[in-house]
Structure 1
């Protein structure tokens, strides 16, 4: 098993709460993780139709007749269990009684908020970070990680990424969208995912996405919400402050996994990545997605934004996760530093009162340096931060 950075945070939550919930994308390693952390817990998977039928037919007996320490995988498939889990966890009061995992965040969290509020530690397991992938493949280069992505199977089995991701998309569309996308619209939904990839790092334009695919704006909004809740894409919100500036109110669109992103963009080799007009977009996506993983794996709630005003002054990342030490970050795919890279950092730093020491440029450089008090990170060093 690949070591996961979130392990200690999961263990802490299991010592605090009677129920621990772990959500994340399909095939992201949730089942492997919880079974490794809690080897003495009984494991049931509700994707097994027989087990699911037992849970739905007799939720009281399903919970009562099993050990008090139980892992329930894809728990959102049997919402009837949650009230009984609440009853038993209240009766026993032991931390770590129930470990719930699921790949449909919106369904699992809906049941948690209705039945288990205050009793559950909620965590997210995203695809492997570069640090985690490196533990499985010590020779891994950043460019290779960009193309391969972070799904654990790609580090367990030697298989082409394009084969894996085509299978992943087919399985995702066939299973996670059931009941949300009409069968006649599945090919258009596949096109919608590709359209999102083509618009990665752009300001979200639902009308444009809808027109690209030939669907209504309402449908585009619904499908985007589905992609968000199943951890395919995320929206980076704009930073807002009382600055006497007109700031954009539109979020930007990104993917959690660059391997999937590259597959959708039909970029399969390092040579294609190097020559692609989307290279800057992909590296920007990489740095931001990895920052989310870094914070979440350490038990911190990411507070990430971008800055853009009506003067087109823009900074790629405003990280206020540590409110006592906010960071401004510009992300470049270039290997050569240019003073112009810090121009917007200087401007926004003055507005937000963030000094040079908390301003950074992340680049595809060989090593990390300091210029004018600002850290000029190599992408590799940025991805290795704790």
Structure 2
């Protein structure tokens, strides 16, 4: 097992809550982390039909088998357990009893908010970060190899290539989740929709255009986006609405959580292909924002991220609410610093005034530099944004 930064956070929360719930994409390492943290407790997977049947038919009997607590994996498969868990932990009073995992936000979060409010802390575990891979000595050697492979743990603990693993992953998990949540009949249309979303990662989301290109209705596209969000395939970045006397873009931008999955959906077959790929800049932007989300979530802090773009095309890729202000982050995939890289940051900083904190440029090169008032970080040092 590659050590996870979030393990420290999980252990801290278990000392103050009777239940900790770890959410995130399927195959992101939730089960491995949970079993490592609670190695001395029983493990029950609600994906197992026999285990699930027992939990649903006799929930009190099921929980009585775990007097000191347990790991309950994929808990959203038995949402009826939540009310019984509430009674169980309230009557006991001990902290750190149960560690729950789940991969779908719909049933999981609604069930916990109704029955376990105040009793469960939440940790979002995304695929491996570059920093975690470096620490384990398993980081891909180049930026393009990192973008192509992504961070799913299976690609680092078994001899399987991204081209072999991602097709099975999408079929076994993503499409199955869609069937469970929406009963989608036309999987061909859904597969086309996901690939069209991949081509728009890093772009402002236009649902009408996306629906038209896929041959589905606007409402269907909206529902499918919601399912892909709930299954941790993609996320939406909302615009920042501070009034700088400009008309601002109101639609969110779309990003994938993992660039390995993104590259597979784009049809990229080797890291070398990425060097000249027309969407390389968008893939790199996706990587940086995803890495920064991991850095925040692994510390137990909500990633209060936005982007800024006005109607004249002026923009900053990322605004982070930080230290009582906003940290602007510009993202460029080029390896050579260019004067144009700084234009958006300079324009936004002039408009923002005292709101601006530590303007930062992250690019496809190496090292750390200071250029006037802008901190410049190479792609391997994305996590150092938090030290600004």
Local SS of the residue matching 1:190: helix
Match of 1:120 in 2: 120
Match of 1:375 in 2: 375
TM-score by length of 2: 0.96
Q: Distance in 2 between matches of 1:283 and 1:217?
A: 29
2:135 matches 1:155: no
Local SS of the residue matching 1:353: helix
Preserved contact between residue 327 and residue 360 of structure 2 (Cα < 8 Å): yes
Preserved contact between residue 233 and residue 254 of structure 1 (Cα < 8 Å): yes
Q: Distance in 2 between matches of 1:365 and 1:12?
A: 36
Q: Distance in 2 between matches of 1:272 and 1:302?
A: 32
CA offsets, 1:40-94, max 9 Å, x none? 1111001000000001111121112322311100111111111111001111111
Preserved contact between residue 178 and residue 184 of structure 2 (Cα < 8 Å): no
Q: Which deviates more, 95-104 or 166-175?
A: 166-175
Query: Unaligned 5+ residue runs, structure 1?
Result: none
Match of 2:58 in 1: 58
Q: Distance in 2 between matches of 1:10 and 1:308?
A: 37
Match of 1:187 in 2: 188
2:317 matches 1:316: yes
Write out aligned runs for 1:318-333 (5 A).
318-320=319-321, 322-324=322-324, 326-333=326-333
Local SS of the residue matching 1:231: coil
Match of 2:16 in 1: 16
- Taking a change above 3 Å as real, the CA distance of residues 247 and 301 of structure 1, as seen in their structure-2 partners, is same
Q: Distance in 1 between matches of 2:346 and 2:83?
A: 53
Q: Distance in 1 between matches of 2:376 and 2:224?
A: 38
Q: Which deviates more, 180-189 or 353-362?
A: 353-362
Local SS of the residue matching 2:347: helix
Match of 1:340 in 2: 340
Match of 1:364 in 2: 364
Shift of 1:143: 1.9
Preserved contact between residue 368 and residue 376 of structure 1 (Cα < 8 Å): yes
Shift of 1:356: 7.9
Query: Unaligned 5+ residue runs, structure 2?
Result: none
Shift of 1:158: 2.0
Q: Distance in 2 between matches of 1:138 and 1:221?
A: 36
Q: Distance in 2 between matches of 1:308 and 1:139?
A: 33
Match of 1:170 in 2: 171
CA offsets, 1:7-58, max 9 Å, x none? 1111111111111111110111000001001111111001000000001111
- Taking a change above 3 Å as real, the CA distance of residues 289 and 325 of structure 1, as seen in their structure-2 partners, is same
CA offsets, 1:116-166, max 9 Å, x none? 001110110001111112225156332211100110000001211111011
- Taking a change above 3 Å as real, the CA distance of residues 357 and 374 of structure 1, as seen in their structure-2 partners, is farther
TM-score by length of 1: 0.96
Write out aligned runs for 1:1-386 (5 A).
1-134=1-134, 135-138=136-139, 140-182=141-183, 184-320=185-321, 322-324=322-324, 326-353=326-353, 358-383=358-383
Local SS of the residue matching 1:247: coil
Preserved contact between residue 103 and residue 231 of structure 2 (Cα < 8 Å): yes
Shift of 1:355: 8.1
Q: Which deviates more, 29-38 or 127-136?
A: 127-136
Preserved contact between residue 331 and residue 362 of structure 1 (Cα < 8 Å): yes
CA offsets, 1:280-309, max 9 Å, x none? 001111111100000000111110010011
Q: Distance in 1 between matches of 2:221 and 2:272?
A: 33
Shift of 1:201: 1.0
Preserved contact between residue 326 and residue 357 of structure 2 (Cα < 8 Å): no
Q: Which deviates more, 253-262 or 304-313?
A: 304-313
Structure 1 ranges of 4+ moved more than 6 A: none
Preserved contact between residue 173 and residue 190 of structure 1 (Cα < 8 Å): no
- Taking a change above 3 Å as real, the CA distance of residues 63 and 377 of structure 1, as seen in their structure-2 partners, is same
Q: Distance in 2 between matches of 1:93 and 1:226?
A: 36
Q: Distance in 1 between matches of 2:184 and 2:234?
A: 22
Q: Distance in 2 between matches of 1:13 and 1:130?
A: 24
Q: Distance in 2 between matches of 1:260 and 1:303?
A: 24
Shift of 1:357: 6.8
Q: Which deviates more, 63-72 or 298-307?
A: 63-72
CA offsets, 1:143-194, max 9 Å, x none? 2111001100000012111110111111124421223343531121111110
Preserved contact between residue 362 and residue 378 of structure 2 (Cα < 8 Å): yes
Q: What is the count of residue pairs matched by the alignment?
A: 385
Q: Distance in 2 between matches of 1:334 and 1:174?
A: 35
